Copies of this chain bind each other. A is one copy, B any other.
Amino acid sequence: MIDKRIGRRFKQRREELGLTQDALSEKLGLTTNYISTIERGASFPRCEKLILLLNGLETSADAIFCDVLTHSTKAKASILSEQISSLPNEEQQRILDMVELMVKQAKSK
The interface of chain A, by Cβ under 8 A from chain B, is 1-3, 6, 44, 46-48, 51, 54-55, 58-66, 68-78, 80-85, 87-88, 91-92, 94-96, 98-100, 102-103, 106-107
Contact = CB atoms under 8 A, between A and B. Distances in A.
B81 A55 contact: no
Contact of A95 (B64, B78, B106): B106
A106 B106 CA distance: 24
A78 B99 CA distance: 12
B103 A87 contact: yes
Given A2-B48, A65-B61, A87-B107, A81 B74 contact: yes
Given A61-B64, A77-B82, A87-B107, 6 more contacts: A59-B72, A59-B73, A60-B62, A76-B84, A77-B78, A87-B103
